[in-house]
Amino acid sequence: MHKAGTTTLAEAFFGTGRVHTASGACCRAVQRTRNLTVAAKSTPPMCGARELGWPKESHFFDWCLEHGRCEDYPLVFRSRPAGSNMEATPRMLSQPRAAEALAAVMPPSIRPAARFIILLREPTSRLFSWYNHQVRAGWVRSPFATYADNQLHEWRMRSTRTAFAALDPMPDIGRGLYAQSVLHWRRFWMRKALLLLNYHTAFSEMAAVSRAALEQFTGVRPGLFKRENSFRAKSSLPCAARDQLLRFYSPHNEDLYRMVRQDAFDGSSPEAEPPFGTLPPPACSEFVTNSTPTPTPPTQRQQNQQQCRPFCDSHSAAWRTLWGGGKCSWSTCEGCAHCLRETKVRPGLGPRRVANHVASVGTRVSVQMTKS
Ligand SMILES: Nc1ncnc2c1ncn2[C@@H]1O[C@H](COP(=O)(O)OS(=O)(=O)O)[C@@H](OP(=O)(O)O)[C@H]1O
Protein backbone atom coordinates (compact mmCIF):
# COMPACT_ATOMS: atom_id res chain seq x y z
CA MET A 1 0.00 0.00 0.00
CA HIS A 2 1.06 3.50 -0.89
CA LYS A 3 3.13 5.25 1.82
CA ALA A 4 3.45 2.16 3.98
CA GLY A 5 7.15 1.48 3.57
CA THR A 6 6.88 -0.26 0.20
CA THR A 7 10.21 1.24 -0.93
CA THR A 8 11.95 -0.08 2.17
CA LEU A 9 10.48 -3.54 1.67
CA ALA A 10 11.25 -3.65 -2.05
CA GLU A 11 14.86 -2.53 -1.48
CA ALA A 12 15.30 -5.21 1.20
CA PHE A 13 14.36 -7.79 -1.45
CA PHE A 14 16.28 -6.23 -4.35
CA GLY A 15 19.39 -6.07 -2.15
CA THR A 16 19.52 -9.87 -2.02
CA GLY A 17 20.25 -10.02 -5.75
CA ARG A 18 17.68 -12.85 -6.04
CA VAL A 19 14.70 -10.62 -6.70
CA HIS A 20 14.47 -8.46 -9.78
CA THR A 21 12.37 -5.49 -10.67
CA ALA A 22 10.59 -4.79 -13.93
CA SER A 23 13.15 -3.75 -16.50
CA GLY A 24 12.92 -0.23 -17.87
CA ALA A 25 14.54 -1.50 -21.06
CA CYS A 26 11.97 -4.29 -21.56
CA CYS A 27 9.19 -1.95 -20.70
CA ARG A 28 10.33 0.59 -23.26
CA ALA A 29 10.72 -2.20 -25.81
CA VAL A 30 7.06 -3.06 -25.20
CA GLN A 31 6.19 0.57 -25.78
CA ARG A 32 8.16 0.65 -28.99
CA THR A 33 6.88 -2.59 -30.48
CA ARG A 34 3.31 -1.66 -29.64
CA ASN A 35 3.85 1.93 -30.69
CA LEU A 36 2.67 3.10 -27.30
CA THR A 37 4.24 6.52 -27.34
CA VAL A 38 1.57 7.94 -25.07
CA ALA A 39 2.84 5.73 -22.23
CA ALA A 40 6.00 7.74 -21.76
CA LYS A 41 3.91 10.80 -21.05
CA SER A 42 1.79 9.30 -18.28
CA THR A 43 2.40 10.51 -14.74
CA PRO A 44 4.16 8.85 -13.06
CA PRO A 45 5.85 7.51 -16.15
CA MET A 46 5.26 3.95 -17.15
CA CYS A 47 8.43 1.89 -17.37
CA GLY A 48 10.00 3.82 -14.52
CA ALA A 49 12.09 0.91 -13.43
CA ARG A 50 15.58 1.09 -11.95
CA GLU A 51 17.25 2.67 -14.94
CA LEU A 52 14.84 5.59 -14.77
CA GLY A 53 14.94 6.10 -11.02
CA TRP A 54 11.65 4.45 -10.00
CA PRO A 55 13.14 1.11 -9.08
CA LYS A 56 10.13 -0.64 -7.67
CA GLU A 57 7.28 0.70 -9.77
CA SER A 58 6.32 -0.10 -13.34
CA HIS A 59 2.94 1.68 -13.13
CA PHE A 60 1.95 -0.61 -15.97
CA PHE A 61 -1.60 -1.13 -14.75
CA ASP A 62 -2.11 2.56 -13.97
CA TRP A 63 -1.42 3.02 -17.61
CA CYS A 64 -2.86 -0.01 -19.41
CA LEU A 65 -6.18 0.11 -17.60
CA GLU A 66 -6.71 3.39 -19.33
CA HIS A 67 -5.14 2.69 -22.70
CA GLY A 68 -5.47 -1.09 -23.09
CA ARG A 69 -3.02 -3.95 -23.75
CA CYS A 70 -2.65 -5.09 -20.14
CA GLU A 71 -1.76 -8.48 -21.61
CA ASP A 72 1.70 -7.06 -22.37
CA TYR A 73 2.49 -6.87 -18.65
CA PRO A 74 4.62 -10.09 -18.49
CA LEU A 75 6.87 -8.62 -21.19
CA VAL A 76 8.14 -5.82 -18.93
CA PHE A 77 10.09 -8.38 -16.89
CA ARG A 78 13.28 -9.88 -18.27
CA SER A 79 12.98 -13.64 -18.36
CA ARG A 80 15.64 -15.04 -16.11
CA PRO A 81 16.64 -18.61 -15.43
CA ALA A 82 16.72 -18.06 -11.67
CA GLY A 83 15.28 -15.63 -9.16
CA SER A 84 11.95 -13.94 -8.84
CA ASN A 85 10.45 -10.80 -10.27
CA MET A 86 8.92 -8.29 -7.95
CA GLU A 87 7.23 -5.00 -8.37
CA ALA A 88 5.66 -2.58 -5.97
CA THR A 89 3.55 -0.03 -7.77
CA PRO A 90 2.04 1.25 -4.55
CA ARG A 91 -1.51 1.84 -5.75
CA MET A 92 -2.16 -1.71 -6.90
CA LEU A 93 -4.15 -2.72 -3.83
CA SER A 94 -6.51 0.21 -4.07
CA GLN A 95 -6.90 0.12 -7.84
CA PRO A 96 -9.90 -2.25 -7.96
CA ARG A 97 -9.55 -3.12 -11.64
CA ALA A 98 -5.90 -4.17 -11.22
CA ALA A 99 -6.75 -7.36 -9.28
CA GLU A 100 -8.84 -8.72 -12.11
CA ALA A 101 -6.58 -7.48 -14.88
CA LEU A 102 -3.52 -9.04 -13.26
CA ALA A 103 -5.35 -12.36 -12.82
CA ALA A 104 -6.26 -12.26 -16.50
CA VAL A 105 -2.73 -11.64 -17.80
CA MET A 106 -0.65 -13.74 -15.40
CA PRO A 107 0.48 -16.85 -17.34
CA PRO A 108 -1.24 -19.95 -15.84
CA SER A 109 2.16 -21.58 -15.24
CA ILE A 110 3.23 -18.71 -12.94
CA ARG A 111 -0.09 -17.98 -11.27
CA PRO A 112 0.16 -20.53 -8.45
CA ALA A 113 3.56 -19.09 -7.49
CA ALA A 114 2.39 -15.47 -7.37
CA ARG A 115 2.67 -13.89 -3.94
CA PHE A 116 1.32 -10.54 -2.78
CA ILE A 117 2.68 -8.68 0.22
CA ILE A 118 0.16 -6.19 1.55
CA LEU A 119 1.72 -3.67 3.92
CA LEU A 120 -0.94 -1.68 5.77
CA ARG A 121 -0.34 1.54 7.65
CA GLU A 122 -2.84 3.27 9.92
CA PRO A 123 -4.93 5.05 7.25
CA THR A 124 -4.89 8.56 8.76
CA SER A 125 -1.11 8.63 9.03
CA ARG A 126 -0.89 7.09 5.57
CA LEU A 127 -3.08 9.88 4.19
CA PHE A 128 -0.99 12.48 6.00
CA SER A 129 2.19 11.01 4.55
CA TRP A 130 0.67 11.10 1.04
CA TYR A 131 -0.49 14.67 1.62
CA ASN A 132 3.07 15.65 2.57
CA HIS A 133 4.37 13.92 -0.53
CA GLN A 134 1.98 16.00 -2.66
CA VAL A 135 2.94 19.25 -0.87
CA ARG A 136 6.61 18.50 -1.52
CA ALA A 137 5.84 17.91 -5.16
CA GLY A 138 3.82 21.15 -5.38
CA TRP A 139 0.61 19.28 -6.31
CA VAL A 140 -1.30 20.34 -3.19
CA ARG A 141 -1.13 23.75 -1.53
CA SER A 142 -4.00 23.74 0.94
CA PRO A 143 -3.50 23.03 4.66
CA PHE A 144 -4.08 19.44 5.74
CA ALA A 145 -7.41 20.27 7.43
CA THR A 146 -8.80 21.60 4.13
CA TYR A 147 -7.38 18.69 2.19
CA ALA A 148 -8.98 16.21 4.62
CA ASP A 149 -12.33 18.04 4.44
CA ASN A 150 -12.24 17.96 0.67
CA GLN A 151 -11.41 14.26 0.70
CA LEU A 152 -14.28 13.47 3.06
CA HIS A 153 -16.62 15.55 0.93
CA GLU A 154 -15.50 13.86 -2.27
CA TRP A 155 -15.95 10.49 -0.63
CA ARG A 156 -19.51 11.28 0.44
CA MET A 157 -20.37 12.49 -3.05
CA ARG A 158 -18.86 9.59 -4.93
CA SER A 159 -19.36 6.60 -2.67
CA THR A 160 -23.11 7.20 -2.47
CA ARG A 161 -23.34 6.87 -6.24
CA THR A 162 -20.65 4.33 -7.06
CA ALA A 163 -19.79 0.95 -5.57
CA PHE A 164 -16.30 0.70 -4.03
CA ALA A 165 -15.06 -1.72 -6.68
CA ALA A 166 -16.12 0.66 -9.44
CA LEU A 167 -14.44 3.79 -8.03
CA ASP A 168 -11.83 4.77 -10.55
CA PRO A 169 -9.81 6.78 -9.90
CA MET A 170 -10.07 5.90 -6.24
CA PRO A 171 -10.11 9.07 -4.09
CA ASP A 172 -7.03 9.27 -1.83
CA ILE A 173 -9.17 8.76 1.25
CA GLY A 174 -10.70 5.57 -0.18
CA ARG A 175 -7.28 3.96 -0.43
CA GLY A 176 -7.34 3.54 3.35
CA LEU A 177 -10.39 1.26 3.27
CA TYR A 178 -8.25 -1.81 3.55
CA ALA A 179 -10.89 -4.42 4.33
CA GLN A 180 -12.80 -3.52 1.18
CA SER A 181 -9.67 -3.56 -0.96
CA VAL A 182 -8.50 -6.92 0.38
CA LEU A 183 -11.98 -8.42 0.02
CA HIS A 184 -12.00 -7.25 -3.57
CA TRP A 185 -8.59 -8.84 -4.30
CA ARG A 186 -9.87 -12.06 -2.76
CA ARG A 187 -12.42 -12.34 -5.53
CA PHE A 188 -9.54 -13.01 -7.94
CA TRP A 189 -6.70 -14.30 -5.77
CA MET A 190 -6.57 -16.92 -3.01
CA ARG A 191 -6.19 -15.50 0.48
CA LYS A 192 -3.22 -17.88 0.86
CA ALA A 193 -1.41 -15.77 -1.73
CA LEU A 194 -1.97 -12.52 0.18
CA LEU A 195 0.30 -11.81 3.17
CA LEU A 196 -1.02 -8.99 5.34
CA LEU A 197 1.63 -7.14 7.33
CA ASN A 198 1.11 -4.35 9.83
CA TYR A 199 3.51 -1.48 8.94
CA HIS A 200 3.65 -0.42 12.59
CA THR A 201 5.11 -3.72 13.71
CA ALA A 202 6.76 -4.88 10.50
CA PHE A 203 9.62 -2.37 10.72
CA SER A 204 9.84 -2.09 14.49
CA GLU A 205 11.30 -4.46 17.08
CA MET A 206 9.30 -7.14 15.22
CA ALA A 207 11.38 -6.68 12.07
CA ALA A 208 13.08 -10.06 12.57
CA VAL A 209 9.68 -11.75 12.80
CA SER A 210 8.49 -9.96 9.66
CA ARG A 211 11.63 -10.93 7.76
CA ALA A 212 11.20 -14.57 8.78
CA ALA A 213 7.54 -14.42 7.73
CA LEU A 214 8.52 -12.92 4.40
CA GLU A 215 11.11 -15.63 3.87
CA GLN A 216 8.58 -18.35 4.61
CA PHE A 217 6.05 -16.69 2.32
CA THR A 218 8.29 -15.90 -0.65
CA GLY A 219 11.21 -18.28 -0.29
CA VAL A 220 13.66 -15.35 -0.20
CA ARG A 221 14.98 -13.85 3.02
CA PRO A 222 14.92 -10.06 2.63
CA GLY A 223 17.85 -7.97 3.83
CA LEU A 224 17.66 -5.64 6.80
CA PHE A 225 15.01 -2.94 6.63
CA LYS A 226 16.39 0.56 6.23
CA ARG A 227 14.24 3.68 6.20
CA GLU A 228 13.70 4.64 2.58
CA ASN A 229 11.60 7.42 1.14
CA SER A 230 11.39 9.25 4.44
CA PHE A 231 11.03 13.02 4.68
CA ARG A 232 10.40 15.28 7.64
CA ALA A 233 6.87 16.73 7.43
CA LYS A 234 6.67 20.52 7.25
CA SER A 235 3.79 20.66 9.72
CA SER A 236 2.24 18.39 12.36
CA LEU A 237 -1.01 16.56 11.96
CA PRO A 238 -3.80 18.80 13.35
CA CYS A 239 -5.85 17.04 16.04
CA ALA A 240 -9.27 18.06 14.73
CA ALA A 241 -8.57 16.68 11.25
CA ARG A 242 -6.98 13.58 12.73
CA ASP A 243 -10.03 12.88 14.92
CA GLN A 244 -12.39 13.38 12.01
CA LEU A 245 -10.42 10.89 9.92
CA LEU A 246 -10.07 8.42 12.79
CA ARG A 247 -13.87 8.43 13.13
CA PHE A 248 -14.23 7.88 9.39
CA TYR A 249 -11.77 5.00 9.27
CA SER A 250 -12.65 3.32 12.55
CA PRO A 251 -15.47 1.02 11.30
CA HIS A 252 -13.36 0.05 8.28
CA ASN A 253 -10.38 -0.81 10.50
CA GLU A 254 -12.70 -2.91 12.67
CA ASP A 255 -13.80 -4.78 9.53
CA LEU A 256 -10.15 -5.43 8.76
CA TYR A 257 -9.35 -6.73 12.27
CA ARG A 258 -12.42 -9.02 12.15
CA MET A 259 -11.37 -10.34 8.75
CA VAL A 260 -7.77 -11.19 9.73
CA ARG A 261 -8.93 -12.81 12.99
CA GLN A 262 -11.48 -14.92 11.15
CA ASP A 263 -8.93 -15.89 8.49
CA ALA A 264 -6.42 -16.96 11.12
CA PHE A 265 -9.14 -18.93 12.92
CA ASP A 266 -10.38 -20.84 9.87
CA GLY A 267 -6.90 -21.29 8.36
CA SER A 268 -7.49 -19.30 5.17
CA SER A 269 -4.59 -16.87 5.74
CA PRO A 270 -1.06 -17.93 4.72
CA GLU A 271 0.74 -19.98 7.39
CA ALA A 272 3.49 -17.36 7.40
CA GLU A 273 1.22 -14.46 8.32
CA PRO A 274 2.12 -13.00 11.74
CA PRO A 275 -0.68 -11.82 14.06
CA PHE A 276 -1.84 -8.49 12.66
CA GLY A 277 -2.71 -6.62 15.88
CA THR A 278 -4.16 -3.15 15.40
CA LEU A 279 -3.21 0.07 13.63
CA PRO A 280 -2.25 2.72 16.21
CA PRO A 281 -3.61 6.28 15.77
CA PRO A 282 -0.95 8.86 14.93
CA ALA A 283 0.14 11.64 17.28
CA CYS A 284 -1.29 15.07 16.57
CA SER A 285 -0.77 18.68 17.52
CA GLU A 286 -3.39 21.14 18.81
CA PHE A 287 -1.26 24.06 17.73
CA VAL A 288 -1.19 23.80 13.99
CA THR A 289 -1.89 27.15 12.36
CA ASN A 290 -4.42 27.05 9.61
CA SER A 291 -2.16 28.73 7.14
CA THR A 292 -1.20 27.30 3.82
CA PRO A 293 1.99 25.28 4.14
CA THR A 294 4.96 26.86 2.49
CA PRO A 295 5.74 24.58 -0.40
CA THR A 296 9.30 23.36 -0.51
CA PRO A 297 11.14 25.42 -3.12
CA PRO A 298 11.31 23.36 -6.29
CA THR A 299 14.48 21.39 -6.74
CA GLN A 300 16.61 21.91 -9.80
CA ARG A 301 15.16 18.70 -11.17
CA GLN A 302 11.59 19.94 -10.69
CA GLN A 303 12.45 23.27 -12.27
CA ASN A 304 13.88 21.43 -15.24
CA GLN A 305 10.73 19.36 -15.43
CA GLN A 306 8.47 22.38 -15.44
CA GLN A 307 10.55 23.98 -18.10
CA CYS A 308 11.03 20.86 -20.17
CA ARG A 309 7.75 19.07 -20.00
CA PRO A 310 5.72 21.00 -22.57
CA PHE A 311 8.80 21.34 -24.69
CA CYS A 312 9.73 17.66 -24.63
CA ASP A 313 6.13 16.51 -24.98
CA SER A 314 5.68 18.45 -28.16
CA HIS A 315 8.94 17.20 -29.60
CA SER A 316 9.15 13.75 -28.13
CA ALA A 317 9.45 12.05 -31.51
CA ALA A 318 12.40 14.25 -32.48
CA TRP A 319 14.07 13.72 -29.12
CA ARG A 320 13.65 9.98 -29.31
CA THR A 321 15.27 9.87 -32.71
CA LEU A 322 18.05 12.06 -31.41
CA TRP A 323 18.78 10.19 -28.22
CA GLY A 324 17.85 6.65 -29.16
CA GLY A 325 14.80 6.46 -26.92
CA GLY A 326 13.88 7.47 -23.44
CA LYS A 327 16.94 9.44 -22.44
CA CYS A 328 15.60 12.82 -23.28
CA SER A 329 12.11 13.00 -21.91
CA TRP A 330 10.70 15.32 -19.28
CA SER A 331 10.55 12.41 -16.84
CA THR A 332 14.30 12.07 -16.97
CA CYS A 333 14.57 15.80 -16.88
CA GLU A 334 18.28 15.95 -16.32
CA GLY A 335 18.51 14.47 -19.77
CA CYS A 336 16.11 17.04 -21.09
CA ALA A 337 17.92 19.94 -19.47
CA HIS A 338 21.06 18.49 -20.92
CA CYS A 339 19.47 18.43 -24.36
CA LEU A 340 18.34 22.01 -24.01
CA ARG A 341 21.81 23.05 -23.00
CA GLU A 342 23.61 21.01 -25.61
CA THR A 343 21.40 22.07 -28.46
CA LYS A 344 21.24 25.65 -27.20
CA VAL A 345 17.49 25.67 -27.69
CA ARG A 346 15.80 28.53 -25.92
CA PRO A 347 12.70 27.25 -24.06
CA GLY A 348 10.51 30.04 -25.47
CA LEU A 349 11.17 29.00 -29.08
CA GLY A 350 8.07 28.14 -31.14
CA PRO A 351 7.44 24.47 -32.05
CA ARG A 352 8.30 24.72 -35.72
CA ARG A 353 11.62 26.50 -35.10
CA VAL A 354 12.50 24.02 -32.35
CA ALA A 355 11.78 21.08 -34.64
CA ASN A 356 14.01 22.61 -37.33
CA HIS A 357 16.68 23.33 -34.78
CA VAL A 358 16.61 19.81 -33.34
CA ALA A 359 16.78 18.34 -36.82
CA SER A 360 19.69 20.57 -37.81
CA VAL A 361 21.81 19.96 -34.72
CA GLY A 362 20.76 16.34 -34.24
CA THR A 363 23.75 14.67 -35.81
CA ARG A 364 26.26 16.99 -34.19
CA VAL A 365 24.76 16.53 -30.73
CA SER A 366 24.58 12.75 -31.03
CA VAL A 367 28.24 12.68 -31.94
CA GLN A 368 29.13 14.90 -28.99
CA MET A 369 27.13 12.73 -26.64
CA THR A 370 28.68 9.54 -27.92
CA LYS A 371 32.13 11.02 -27.32
CA SER A 372 31.28 12.15 -23.76
N1 LIG B 1 11.97 1.35 8.30
C2 LIG B 1 10.91 2.17 8.35
N3 LIG B 1 10.24 2.36 9.51
C4 LIG B 1 9.19 3.19 9.58
N5 LIG B 1 8.71 3.88 8.53
C6 LIG B 1 9.32 3.73 7.35
C7 LIG B 1 10.44 2.87 7.20
N8 LIG B 1 10.83 2.95 5.90
C9 LIG B 1 10.01 3.82 5.29
N10 LIG B 1 9.10 4.29 6.16
C11 LIG B 1 8.06 5.30 5.89
O12 LIG B 1 7.23 4.88 4.81
C13 LIG B 1 6.80 6.03 4.07
C14 LIG B 1 7.19 5.86 2.63
O15 LIG B 1 6.47 4.76 2.13
P16 LIG B 1 6.59 4.21 0.65
O17 LIG B 1 8.00 3.94 0.33
O18 LIG B 1 5.62 3.08 0.51
O19 LIG B 1 6.07 5.46 -0.20
S20 LIG B 1 5.60 5.45 -1.73
O21 LIG B 1 4.21 5.04 -1.75
O22 LIG B 1 6.46 4.56 -2.48
O23 LIG B 1 5.76 6.86 -2.16
C24 LIG B 1 7.46 7.23 4.71
O25 LIG B 1 6.54 7.76 5.66
P26 LIG B 1 6.49 9.31 6.07
O27 LIG B 1 7.88 9.66 6.52
O28 LIG B 1 5.47 9.38 7.17
O29 LIG B 1 6.06 10.07 4.87
C30 LIG B 1 8.67 6.60 5.40
O31 LIG B 1 9.16 7.36 6.49
pLDDT tens digits for 193-221? 999 999 999 998 889 999 999 999 999 99
- Class of domain 6-123+167-235+246-266 as given by CATH: alpha beta
205 vs 147, which has greater pLDDT? 147
User: How close is the Cα of 226 to the center of ligand 1, in Å?
Assistant: 10
Asked if residues 63 and 39 have their Cβ atoms less than 8 Å apart, the reply is yes
pLDDT tens, 6-45?
999 999 998 998 988 887 777 777 777 766 655 555 555 6
Q: Where exactly does CATH 3.40.50 map onto the chain? A: 6-123+167-235+246-266
The predicted model gives 274-284 an average pLDDT of 96
The predicted model gives 298-309 an average pLDDT of 57
Average per-residue pLDDT in the chain? 79
**For the chain, percent of residues with pLDDT exceeding 90:** 42
220 vs 347, which has greater pLDDT? 220
Helices vs. strands in the chain: H and E counts, helices first: 14, 4
129 lines ligand 1 (CB under 6 A): yes
Cβ count within 10 A of residue 38: 13
203 lines ligand 1 (CB under 6 A): yes
φ and ψ at residue 266, rounded to 5 degrees: -95, 5
Range in 77-86, 91-100, 139-148, 334-343 with the lowest mean pLDDT: 334-343
Helix (H, G, I), strand (E, B) or coil at 136: helix
- The number of the ligand 1 atom at minimal distance from the alpha carbon of 7 is 17
Ligand 1 atom 4: the closest Cα is on which residue? Answer: 203
| Residue 305 reports pLDDT greater than 70 | no
| Residue 74 reports pLDDT greater than 90 | no
6 lines ligand 1 (CB under 6 A): yes
| Residue 107 reports pLDDT greater than 80 | yes
The separation between the first and the last C-alpha atoms of the chain, rounded to the nearest angstrom, is: 41
